[in-house]
Structure 1
Amino acid sequence: MFAHCYKRQGGWKDVLSRFVEGNGLLYDLEFLNDESGRRVAAFGFYAGFTGSAVGIDAWCHQQLNAGEKYPVITPYPNEDVLIAETKEKLAKIGKLPKIMVMGAMGRCGSGAVSYARKAGIPEENIIKWDMAETAKGGPFQEIMDVDIFVNCIYLSSQIPPFVTQQQIDAERQLSVIVDVSCDTTNPFNPIPIYNVNTTFDNALLDIPSTNAKPLQLCSIDHLPTMLPRESSNQFSEDLLPTLLQLPTHTSAPVWTRAKKLFNEKVESMATTD
């Protein structure tokens, strides 16, 4: 399972305690890593891909239907239908947004960039940032100067915030944030202007601001289900070789590393507030 408890998310001790009390073992799918530390299977690409789609669509909705509630999201039969819908809306508007992807070199970020390209956003309107660009530490004014910000980083430790309330209260171009990373209850959340996840039924959160320009944020933690066919196919193909090693989990490296990590996280409960 994806337990979402190894990075001290809200309720993480409660989740781990159930495995301990039940004399069980958690093999967390998010932490099945190869010898180089890279995940053997991840939904990252399509999380970024669909996150970018929601971001662009939310921006389109602001232009075409200002003041109206954003509609309920429903899964698409395939990515071609989703892309065609985005292109149609962008054509109605007659202008193209500028989008920044944070973590652009990773699985998730490459998915976000891919969707923007397929939707017809020109390369000069796609700002791609990764570790080199963020090395100076946030907050970053550059985020305020784009229309859509898509956060795709993998957070593993405390970093300076990317954005602050003071920034969004000031003059800005930014009107949509998609936090694909969804470190919503993580104490190190680099987008500390919200603390709840959104859903397909209520995809966008209105961020309070003294600035008259609206700012809406998407923090859906299951974005790949917008494209269930492509997401499932890719994840299955990636996971299958490791899954076939499960009968030998006591000796297969991926599974032994996962068990070791579980034990470390359980031990950390006693020393973490």
Structure 2
Amino acid sequence: MKIALIKEGKIPADKRVAFTPEQILELHRVYPQLEVVVENSDVRSFEDIEYMSRGITVTDDIEDCDVFMGIKEVPIVQLKDEKTYVFFSHTIKKQPYNRALLQAIIQKQIKLIDYEVIKNPQGERVVAFGRWAGIVGAYNGLWTYGKKSGLYDIKRAYDCFDREELDRELHKVQLPPIKIVVTGTGRVGKGVVEVLLEAGMRQVDSHDFLNAYFEEPVFTVLSSSHFNRRKTDGGFDRIEFYKEPEKYESHFLKYAEVSDILMAAAYWDNRAPRLFSPEDIKSDDFNISVIADITCDIHGSVPTTIRASKVLDPVYDIDREHFEELPPFGKQTSISVMAIDNLPTELPRDASKDFGEQLMKYFIPELMKPRSEMIEKATVAKEGDLTLEFIYLKEFVAENSQENEKY
């Protein structure tokens, strides 16, 4: 089998890669029948010379490869007919801006394996960048607070060579006795916690967070049960909530009244209640002034996320009274929103290494098997049609693309 690590073609280009040079050497050692080559790239965080110096083939000619592995969506014009591709396609939730991409994949009889749905028998994702989204998102949230308050100044995450340098920057953060509320206890939330602890903050439970005064900055981490309640009786049942979230309402406002920063890191189902409403932020009791929306669901769980922000333009403000976008930090009373939608690319070397380790542990062994149930369930399309797992996308694919192609 021959795998190509393809050059990222989406603009702006993502600097991440599926495998580092050292990981490819390890793959060649463990699987003598496997060859991994690297397509030339001037944007990848690991430069071509780093692969070449280890004897790994770097080339423009990847036509004879069997599997093409990238990170972000592959531009339609770069797709090769009847090949196997592995990347984050952002199509499985019927994203309209990628309808044309999925149509082209089917037309070209491409086998598409989507990282997002590579799961173990328990239904848990086994390859993801979530931890790094949490790490960079939390760092950017602290950077935003520093800019808004003028209390300290740290580098942008993308200006840090690696996690080690980012941690050194965190030690420069000087916070007053503020409170930070974090939603989400999964990979993303755990990444947030890593950063806040590294910055010297203390974690407290939700009860003390709401009721106690602290002479130091503190944070708390909330799960769904902390800020959602059943409409009928105020109770909470985890299984019911995930199955029928429309039966629930938010009671997050009590946290908004005592928090200075919100770091949103919880998965959100569009049937579930939003944390708060646009009307809520008009209240003098709504104390949050900085929101790091790591989930970046547009008009989703965090209503102030009216659009995604960009790495080079990371923050916009929302006017509390009129719910209108303002320039960043343009008004002291406005809410500053950081909602970058590709956070891990700001620390691409560390994120790539971690992702490659996951692929080596969970994906490559399955790929080398004659038949893999895990890979079959993660295959969105093959041989010119959707697979049974993703047949629910049939009407979505059949529709004419109404949105401009991104590619």
For normalisation by structure 2, the TM-score amounts to 0.59
> For the structure 1 residues 222 and 270, does the alpha-carbon distance in structure 2 shift closer, same or farther, using more than 3 Å as the test?
closer
Contact 1:48 1:109 (C-alpha < 8 Å) held by counterparts: yes
Matched, 1:151 2:151: no
Q: Give the whole-Å Cα distance in 2 for the aligned partners of 1:107 and 1:149.
A: 17
> For the structure 1 residues 134 and 243, does the alpha-carbon distance in structure 2 shift closer, same or farther, using more than 3 Å as the test?
farther
Contact 1:72 1:203 (C-alpha < 8 Å) held by counterparts: no
CA shift for structure 1 position 252: 0.7
Amino acid at match of 2:318: I
1:121 alignment partner in structure 2: 201
Matched, 1:191 2:275: no
Q: Give the whole-Å Cα distance in 1 for the aligned partners of 2:251 and 2:388.
A: 32
Q: Give the whole-Å Cα distance in 2 for the aligned partners of 1:145 and 1:245.
A: 48
Give the SS at the match of 1:178: strand
Contact 2:131 2:187 (C-alpha < 8 Å) held by counterparts: yes
CA shift for structure 1 position 157: 4.5
CA shift for structure 1 position 145: 2.7
CA shift for structure 1 position 74: 2.5
CA shift for structure 1 position 215: 0.6
> For the structure 1 residues 120 and 33, does the alpha-carbon distance in structure 2 shift closer, same or farther, using more than 3 Å as the test?
same
1:63-82 pair list within 5 angstroms: 63-64=149-150, 74-82=158-166
Amino acid at match of 2:141: G
2:273 alignment partner in structure 1: 160
Contact 1:144 1:167 (C-alpha < 8 Å) held by counterparts: no
Which of 252, 267, 277 is the aligned partner of 1:140?
Answer: 252
CA shift for structure 1 position 247: 4.2
CA shift for structure 1 position 37: 0.9
Contact 1:175 1:216 (C-alpha < 8 Å) held by counterparts: yes
> For the structure 1 residues 10 and 266, does the alpha-carbon distance in structure 2 shift closer, same or farther, using more than 3 Å as the test?
closer
For normalisation by structure 1, the TM-score amounts to 0.85
Q: Which structure has greater helix proportion?
A: 1
- Report sequence identity in percent: 23
CA shift for structure 1 position 144: 4.4
Contact 2:261 2:291 (C-alpha < 8 Å) held by counterparts: yes
1:1-273 pair list within 5 angstroms: 1-64=87-150, 74-90=158-174, 95-103=176-184, 105-124=185-204, 125-136=218-229, 137-138=249-250, 140-141=252-253, 142-171=255-284, 172-184=286-298, 189-210=300-321, 213-241=333-361, 242-248=363-369, 251-259=371-379, 260=387, 263-269=390-396
The structure whose RCO (Cα within 8 Å, separation 6+) is larger is: 1
Give the SS at the match of 1:58: helix
Q: Which structure has greater strand proportion?
A: 2
Q: Give the whole-Å Cα distance in 2 for the aligned partners of 1:272 and 1:264.
A: 14
Contact 2:183 2:263 (C-alpha < 8 Å) held by counterparts: yes
Q: Give the whole-Å Cα distance in 1 for the aligned partners of 2:99 and 2:110.
A: 15
Q: Give the whole-Å Cα distance in 2 for the aligned partners of 1:265 and 1:217.
A: 35
